[in-house]
Amino acid sequence: MKRLKKTKDFGAARRELRLPQLLEIRMNYEGNGENIPLRPPDISLHGMFVNTSTHLPEGAIVNLRFRLTRSNVEVQTRGEVRYCLPGIGIGVEFVGIRPEAVRAIQREIGASYRTRTKKS
C-alpha cells in the first residue's frame, strides 16, 4: 500500500488578521542560547510566521521576544514550530503567552487595520 504525503495549503484564507511588522524580534531554539537570524515576521493572536533560513523541526520549542511597533510593548513567550518551509521560514504557535500580551497584540492589530481601512 502506497502512503500519500500529507500537504498543507499555505495559500488558504487566514483564520485571523495579521500584523506585518514589529520593531524588533529575537528567537532562539530552547536549550541553545544562540539567537537565530531572522527577518521581520507577520504576527497574529496565536502565532507568527518568521522568515529565516534556519531549519527547525516541527515541534521544536523556541523562545521569542519581540516589541510591537505602535505601542512599544515588549512580548516574551515560548512558541512551538508548527511547520517549516525550508529556506523561507517557520510557522510558530505561541505557547503559554500571557493574557496581557495577547490583548496588546490584539490592540496593535486592530489599530493597524483601522489605519489601513482609512487610507483606502
Q: What does the pLDDT read at residue 119?
A: 55
User: Is residue 5 a part of any domain in this protein?
Assistant: no
Q: In sequence order, which residues have a C-beta less than 8 Å from that of residue 9 and are 6 or more positions away? A: none
Q: In sequence order, which residues have a C-beta less than 8 Å from that of residue 120 and are 6 or more positions away? A: none
Number of structural domains the chain divides into: 1
Contacts 24+ apart (CB under 8 A), 48-51: 48/79, 48/91, 48/92, 48/94, 49/89, 49/90, 49/91, 49/92, 50/25, 50/89, 50/90, 50/92, 51/88, 51/89
User: Is residue 4 a part of any domain in this protein?
Assistant: no
User: Is residue 19 a part of any domain in this protein?
Assistant: no
CB atoms within 10 A of CB 21: 13
User: Is residue 45 a part of any domain in this protein?
Assistant: yes
DSSP state letter for 96? S
Q: Find the CATH number of the domain harbouring 103.
A: 2.40.10.220
pLDDT tier at 14, thresholds 50, 70, 90: low
User: Is residue 11 a part of any domain in this protein?
Assistant: no
Q: What does the pLDDT read at residue 3?
A: 44
Instruction: Decide: pTM greater than 0.95.
Output: no
User: What is the residue type of 41?
Assistant: P
Which residues constitute the domain of residue 38?
24-119
